[in-house]
Structure 1
Amino acid sequence: MTQGQKPDRLLQLLGICMRARQLVSGEEQVLKAIQQSKAKLVFIGSDISPLTKKKLTDKGLFYEIPTTEAYTAAQLTQAIGLHRATIAVMDAGFAKKMITLLG
């Protein structure tokens, strides 16, 4: 993936969201946030195991929460400063802006 303007802006927004404490990360916490319908957008590392990816994607579809695999686990890790491959955005405003940036 090329380093265009959109990805940089979205990753910066993820960092801001992290500092605002509007993210949960890690597979278990993300699944719980989806099941409680608290997650507004879920980022799934594009390079994680197919089984984990399927589990998160299926939960997202069932609970009607958008998911994206636009970034690798390394990019997500760099954006939030924690080693994570799955992230759920809890704030509707942040999620709406990120969905717009994703196109």
Structure 2
Amino acid sequence: MKANYLNIIGLAYRAGKCSLGEDIIVRDIQQKRAELVLLASDIGPRTKKKITNKCHTYEIPYEIVDDRETLSNAIGKSQRVAVAILDAGFAAKIRTLLG
């Protein structure tokens, strides 16, 4: 089941429905473009606090998922600790698979 949500993240990335990078994710949260934010379990405390506070303020759901290596492999990039899903369909499917 865990591998399925990683496949959906990969599909969303290839479809151009993801944003990467702390500043871009925060901008997408503020503009309410982000439907779901995925954070690696080993994200740094300052980055985690910044992104989760923005999610709470703008009422964007977020999930803590696997470590940064697993999350990075799902999208084919290295050292990614956060991914914002910009499509409601992909976000709903990922949340369903995560439980």
Which range, TM-score by smaller chain?
over 0.9
Gaps of 5+ in 1: 1-5
Alignment of 1:1-103 (within 5 A): 6-83=1-78, 84-103=80-99
TM-score under structure 1 normalisation?
0.92
Distance 2:4 2:21 in 1: 22
Deviation for aligned residue 1:80:
0.1
- Indicate the SS of the match to 1:65: coil
- Indicate the SS of the match to 2:84: strand
* Deviation readout 1:5-47 (Å, 9 max, x if unpaired): x210000110011110100011111111101000000011110
> 1:3 corresponds to which residue?
none
TM-score under structure 2 normalisation?
0.95
Percent identity between the two aligned chains? 43
Deviation for aligned residue 1:76:
0.9
Question: Partner amino acid for 1:54?
Answer: K
Q: RMSD of the alignment, in Å? A: 0.8
Question: Partner amino acid for 1:40?
Answer: E
Distance 1:102 1:61 in 2: 20
- Indicate the SS of the match to 1:38: coil
